[in-house]
Chains A and B, each alone.
Chain A
Amino acid sequence: MTTNSLTFEQALAKLATVHNSAERIAVMQIVASAQDPRGIEPMIRALSYNDAGLFEVVVSGLIAIGEPAVQPILDCIDAMDYGARYQAFRALVGVGDSRPRNSYAHWLKADIAPSVRRICVKGLGQFEDTLDLLLEALKDADWSVRYCAVLVLGQRQHQSGVRTTLEALKEDPERTVRLKLAQVLEAS
């Protein structure tokens, strides 16, 4: 039987025995496209496989399942390595649920990986009452996190203090951040 003709149940069972990346992606594709909550657990596990192609399938699969996937992801996220955590947060941001708010706030401060801190900025951008946290992200040591915060805060220049704080960032050491800032300030 070819991989493509597997049923959801067969694909779930097969995940335990696949050994190469291409086959795993093909089987996971079947699991992911079923939007069946039984796929949540194996998809979360796949976030630690360090396989870029697999990540795309799994993240969109989890987003497609949506709300039922949120709590299972949150239950695992603190124990993940930062690579897996980044992918897990991508899925959570994609779902757009309110439950990850504290997790975004925590890992924005705690994670050593800029990619995780960036996705937390994006996640926090989905909440109205996160201005202080986003302003704090403008001070991040990594340019890409500051850039992401500028991008998100650019939409909030009507809120008090935002524009002044953004203007104070004009001296950012990185040209890329300065250019984005100028663009955002000019657009408003």
Chain B
Amino acid sequence: MSNTPNTSLSVESAVAQLQDADISKRYYAAWCLGSMQDPKSIDALVLALKDETDRTNLGGYPLRRKAAEALGRIGDRRAVPALIQALECEDLFLRETAAWALSRIGDPSASAALLTLLASDQTQPYEVLIETLGDLRTVEAVPLIRPFLNDASERLRCAAARALFQLTGDLTCIDLLLTTLHSSDINMRRAALFDLAETGHLPIVSEIATAEVTANLKLFALKQLVDSAPEDASLDSVLKVIDDLL
């Protein structure tokens, strides 16, 4: 019933279990460590991030993906070099999870590797790459991201708009996101809601307040807006909307 695994594993035993002969036990241990979020497990998870033994028929690395996710959740900078290295793996989903983890950790030293990935000819986890480069404020990514404003995928157009606003402050990007916030597709509205929140652009608070999404989602989006807003901004207008929702 809970989000955290119901486990009797301590951090120490989960770390030990990452070396177990049974691959499903190793995977479970990585999952537990991701939920316990104890920095003591970083070295063991970095080791698991290089695992070669747990591999699917299609060439995917489940344990490495789970380890990357756990490292992202823990959010400690010591994991950055290993995660950057994981960006070179042929497993697309590992590259995606590693990019996501680097965005959670928020270390700009990952920017160059992420830029290389976005510019490569190989298929990439574009949505996460674009979002991460925006979150890391990698201004050099602007020319690489701009073409995605015309992508066939609405989701990628929104990710690009969000990142370009973060990087350039171009208000037409906000308009693009507001259009999607009124989409007839609830999943698109939901994604646009959080893209808008991530911009930290306070004038959109009234648009969040009246969006066609549940009160719960609005609440999370408003918190995200607060977290993304400039440090000196006056956020009374956002708090007022939160109060009215509760």
Contact = CB atoms under 8 A, between A and B. Distances in A.
A81 to B, nearest CB: 10
Nearest to A90: B215
A172 B70 CA distance: 24
A151 B223 contact: no
A19 B85 CA distance: 53
Interface stretch (B50-58, B112-120, B238-246): B238-246
A108 B148 CA distance: 45
Main secondary structure of the interface of B (DSSP, over half): helix
A170 interface: no
B104 to A, nearest CB: 15
Contacts of A179: 226, 235, 239
* Interface bracket on B: 10 to 19
B242 A176 contact: yes
A122 interface: yes
Contacts, number: 32
Interface in B177-225: 214, 216, 219, 222-223
B2 interface: yes
A183 B2 contact: no
A179 B242 CA distance: 12
Contacts of B222: 176
A3 B235 CA distance: 45
A115 B242 CA distance: 13
Interface string A91-131: 00000000000000000000010010010001000000000
Contacts of A144: 219, 223, 246
A38 interface: no
A179 B124 CA distance: 39
A175 B227 contact: yes
Contacts of A147: 242, 246
17 contacts: A112-B1, A112-B2, A115-B216, A118-B246, A143-B223, A144-B223, A144-B246, A147-B242, A151-B243, A175-B226, A176-B223, A176-B227, A176-B239, A179-B226, A179-B239, A180-B239, A183-B236
The 4 A-B pairs at the shortest CB distance, nearest first, are namely: A176-B226, A176-B223, A148-B246, A179-B235
Interface of B: 1-3, 214, 216, 219, 222-223, 226-227, 235-236, 239, 242-243, 246
Interface of A: 52, 112, 115, 118, 122, 143-144, 147-148, 151, 174-176, 179-180, 183
